[in-house]
Structure 1
Amino acid sequence: MNRLFLPADASGRAEARLARPSPLANALTLAAMSLGFGVVQLDVTIVNTALDSIRSALGGGVAELQWVVNAYTITFAAFILTAGALGDRLGARRIFMGGFALFTLASLGCGLAPDAVTLIALRAIQGLAAAILVPNSLALLNHAYVDPKERGRAVGVWAAGASLALTAGPFVGGTLIALVGWRAIFFVNLPIGLVGLWLTKAYARETPLHADRALDLPGQMAAIIALGALAAAVIEAGARGWTDSAVMLGFVIAIVSGVAFVWQEVRTPQPMLPLILFRNRLFSLCALVGLLANVAIYGLIFVFSLYFQEINHLSAFATGLAFVPMLGVVFPVNLIAPRVAERIGPRATIALGATLSALACLALLPMAPGTPYWALGLQLIGMSSGLGLLVPPLTSTLLGSVDKSRSGLAAGVLNATRQTGSAIGVALFGSLIGQPDAFMTGLRLSLVISAVVLLLAAGIIRWGGAAHGER
Structure 2
Amino acid sequence: MREAAIELRPFPATAEAGQDRKPDDQEFRNQPIGEQQPPRGLPASLTLFAMSLGYGVVQLDVTIVNTALDRIGSALGGGVSELQWVVNAYTIAFAAFILTSGALGDRIGAKRVFMAGFAIFTTASLACALAPNSAALIAARAVQGLGAAVLVPNSLALLNHAYRDRQARGRAVGIWAAGASLALTAGPLAGGALIALIGWRSIFLVNVPIGIAGLWLSWRYATETTRNRQREVDLPGQCLAIAALGCLAGTIIEGGAVGLHNSYVIAGFAASALLALLFIVQERRSSHPMLPLSLFGHRLFALTSLVGLLVNIAFYGLIFVFSLYFQRVNGLTPLQTGLAFVPMMGIVLPANLVAARISERIGAPAAIAAGGVLAAAGCVTLLPIEPGTPYVEMLAQLMIIGGGLGLLVPPLTATLLGSVETSRSGIAAGVLNATRQTGSVLGVALFGSLVGQPDAFMRGAHLALMISVVLLLIASVVIWRGAATRD
Instruction: Give the structure-2-normalised TM-score.
Output: 0.86
- CA distance in structure 1 between the partners assigned to 2:51 and 2:193 by the alignment: 26
Verify: 1:312 aligned to 2:330, yes or no: yes
- CA distance in structure 2 between the partners assigned to 1:281 and 1:206 by the alignment: 37
* Amino acid aligned to 1:423: V
| Structure 2 gaps, min length 5 | 1-12, 14-24, 32-36
Task: Report matched runs for 1:29-40 at 5 Å.
Answer: 29-40=47-58
2:377 equivalent among 359, 363, 374: 359
Checking the alignment, whether the CA contact within 8 Å between 1:299 and 1:426 is kept in structure 2 is yes
| Counterpart in the other structure of 1:461 | 479
Task: Report matched runs for 1:322-333 at 5 Å.
Answer: 322-333=340-351
- CA distance in structure 2 between the partners assigned to 1:262 and 1:325 by the alignment: 41
- CA distance in structure 2 between the partners assigned to 1:282 and 1:146 by the alignment: 30
State the SS of the aligned residue for 1:466: coil
- CA distance in structure 2 between the partners assigned to 1:393 and 1:23 by the alignment: 33
| Counterpart in the other structure of 2:18 | none
- CA distance in structure 1 between the partners assigned to 2:220 and 2:414 by the alignment: 26
State the SS of the aligned residue for 1:82: helix
| Counterpart in the other structure of 1:294 | 312
1:371 equivalent among 382, 389, 414: 389
Checking the alignment, whether the CA contact within 8 Å between 1:160 and 1:334 is kept in structure 2 is no
Q: Which moved more, 1:248-257 or 1:273-282?
A: 273-282
Task: Report matched runs for 1:117-128 at 5 Å.
Answer: 117-128=135-146
| Counterpart in the other structure of 1:426 | 444
Aligned-pair distance for 1:426? 0.3
Task: Report matched runs for 1:38-437 at 5 Å.
Answer: 38-141=56-159, 157-202=175-220, 204=222, 206-399=224-417, 409-437=427-455
Checking the alignment, whether the CA contact within 8 Å between 1:156 and 1:337 is kept in structure 2 is no
Aligned-pair distance for 1:146? 7.2
Aligned-pair distance for 1:30? 4.4
- CA distance in structure 2 between the partners assigned to 1:449 and 1:153 by the alignment: 39
Cα deviations by residue, 1:181-228 (Å, 9 ceiling, x for unpaired): 110000111222233334444555544443222111111111111111
- CA distance in structure 1 between the partners assigned to 2:464 and 2:260 by the alignment: 16
State the SS of the aligned residue for 1:467: coil
* Amino acid aligned to 2:452: G
Given the superposition, is the C-alpha separation of residues 357 and 143 from structure 1 closer, same or farther in structure 2, using an over 3 Å criterion?
A: farther
Q: Which moved more, 1:218-227 or 1:328-337?
A: 328-337
- CA distance in structure 2 between the partners assigned to 1:142 and 1:353 by the alignment: 31
- CA distance in structure 1 between the partners assigned to 2:353 and 2:168 by the alignment: 13
Q: Which moved more, 1:18-27 or 1:354-363?
A: 18-27
1:451 equivalent among 462, 465, 469: 469
Aligned-pair distance for 1:73? 1.0
Aligned-pair distance for 1:337? 3.5
- CA distance in structure 2 between the partners assigned to 1:129 and 1:148 by the alignment: 29
Cα deviations by residue, 1:289-342 (Å, 9 ceiling, x for unpaired): 221111010011000000000110111111111111211122333344445445
Given the superposition, is the C-alpha separation of residues 353 and 89 from structure 1 closer, same or farther in structure 2, using an over 3 Å criterion?
A: farther
| Counterpart in the other structure of 2:9 | none
Aligned-pair distance for 1:361? 1.2
Q: Which moved more, 1:290-299 or 1:37-46?
A: 37-46
Given the superposition, is the C-alpha separation of residues 138 and 356 from structure 1 closer, same or farther in structure 2, using an over 3 Å criterion?
A: farther
Q: Which moved more, 1:114-123 or 1:313-322?
A: 313-322
State the SS of the aligned residue for 2:50: helix
Structure number having the greater helix percentage: 1
- CA distance in structure 2 between the partners assigned to 1:311 and 1:72 by the alignment: 26
Checking the alignment, whether the CA contact within 8 Å between 2:379 and 2:466 is kept in structure 1 is yes
Checking the alignment, whether the CA contact within 8 Å between 2:125 and 2:204 is kept in structure 1 is yes
Aligned-pair distance for 1:47? 0.8
Identical columns (%): 65
- CA distance in structure 1 between the partners assigned to 2:217 and 2:405 by the alignment: 29
Checking the alignment, whether the CA contact within 8 Å between 1:140 and 1:207 is kept in structure 2 is yes
Cα RMSD, aligned residues only: 2.9
Cα deviations by residue, 1:327-386 (Å, 9 ceiling, x for unpaired): 112233334444544554443333332222222111111111111011101111111122
Checking the alignment, whether the CA contact within 8 Å between 1:45 and 1:166 is kept in structure 2 is yes
Cα deviations by residue, 1:233-268 (Å, 9 ceiling, x for unpaired): 100111111111011111011000000000001112
* Amino acid aligned to 1:367: I
